[in-house]
């Protein structure tokens, strides 16, 4: 198997002393590189991007999940971003010399191991989903950790794919593991603290509500900078690029008399998604092509 990318999301974005041991666990696997890390205090979430040969990447992900389960207690966790697990989501993405089928196999093997060895329930999503109802990530974690603790006992549609079937891990919750194509995590900060506006814009632009193709979106209130944010996953940048997304949010915000403060990448993006001049046009904060373009780091 060739290279794969793995992008685990951890429910910790405020305490470096908690995140560093998780990163060390990833780095302890020979042949695996951490090529990006991004933490957000308002979301209380960190996104880590690692690359390596398939089995090595899966081993690194397992060690990270294990360490996160020891260090993160969801019963004490607060943040803007929805979550059901200490390690909330772990997608595998095919890169050079690997295929989606191979990434699906990695996801299934990792999920079985996490359930068996760590007693953490696992749900499979996207291309690794075992039922159509779980293909879309928001549909898996839409009720959050607190409500899922009850639902997993009483609701047959919430029974995990691997691991304990009727109880979440008491502090680490559950983990969603999958395989998908490259997506871009992209946020637009409004020059306003109007959370209702951000949520209304998110609803209008997301695909499932009749908006832009491949866009998943939510509205949040964030503290740094203090503003309302439209937070998105751009799942098919070839169909709906960042400039199109920015223009639509700018139009909808403008109709309410609000301007765009800035936009930001969370993690990395492929070179084709950010042609020359685009970062300036979409007010992309702190963009550095040497550290935020996938091809530059590979």
CA nearest to 273, candidates 249, 229, 298, 239: 239
Q: Based on the residue annotation, tell me whether 77 is a catalytic residue of this protein.
A: no
93 contacts 7 by C-beta, under 8 angstroms? yes
Cis peptide preceding 225, ω within 30 of 0: yes
CA nearest to 157, candidates 127, 133, 125, 173: 133
Burial bucket for residue 183 (CB in 10 Å: 0-12, 13-18, 19+): buried
Catalytic residue among 43, 77, 81, 108: 81
Cα separations in angstroms, 178 against 15, 36, 102, 111, 120: 27, 19, 11, 9, 15
Strands (E), the chain: 3-6, 9-10, 33-40, 45-53, 87-94, 122-126, 175-179, 184-190, 215-223, 226-234, 260-266
The CA distance from 27 to 122, in Å, is 24
The CA distance from 84 to 251, in Å, is 34
3-state secondary structure (DSSP) of residue 143: coil
Q: Rounded to 5 degrees, what angle do the CA atoms 185, 82, 62 make?
A: 75
Would you name the residues annotated as active-site residues? 81
């Amino acid at each position: 198997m060739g290279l794969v990318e793995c992008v685990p999301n951890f429910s910790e974005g405020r305490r470096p002393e908690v995140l560093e041991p998780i990163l060390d666990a990833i780095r302890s696997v020979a042949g695996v590189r951490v090529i990006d890390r991004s933490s957000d205090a308002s979301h209380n979430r960190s996104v880590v991007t690692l690359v390596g040969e398939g089995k090595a990447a899966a081993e690194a992900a397992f060690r990270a999940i294990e360490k996160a389960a020891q260090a993160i207690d969801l019963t004490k966790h607060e943040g803007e971003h929805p979550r059901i697990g200490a390690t909330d989501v772990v997608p595998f993405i095919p890169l050079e010399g690997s295929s989606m089928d191979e990434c699906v196999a990695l996801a299934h093997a990792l999920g079985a191991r996490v359930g068996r060895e760590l007693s953490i329930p696992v749900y499979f999503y996207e291309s690794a989903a075992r039922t159509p109802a779980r293909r879309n990530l928001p549909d898996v974690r839409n009720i959050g950790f607190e409500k899922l603790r009850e639902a997993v006992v009483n609701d047959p549609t919430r029974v995990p794919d691997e691991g304990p079937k009727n109880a979440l891990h008491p502090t680490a919750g559950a983990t969603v593991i999958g395989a998908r194509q490259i997506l871009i995590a992209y946020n637009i900060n409004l020059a306003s603290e109007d959370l209702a506006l951000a949520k209304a814009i998110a609803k209008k632009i997301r695909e499932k509500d009749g908006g832009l193709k491949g866009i998943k979106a939510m509205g949040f209130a964030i503290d740094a900078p203090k503003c309302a944010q439209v937070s998105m996953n751009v799942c098919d940048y070839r169909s709906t690029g960042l400039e199109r997304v920015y223009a639509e949010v700018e139009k909808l915000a403008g109709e309410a008399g609000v301007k765009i403060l800035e936009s930001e990448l969370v993690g990395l993006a492929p070179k084709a998604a950010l042609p020359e001049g685009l970062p300036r046009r979409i007010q992309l904060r702190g963009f550095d092509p040497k550290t935020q373009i996938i091809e530059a780091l590979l």
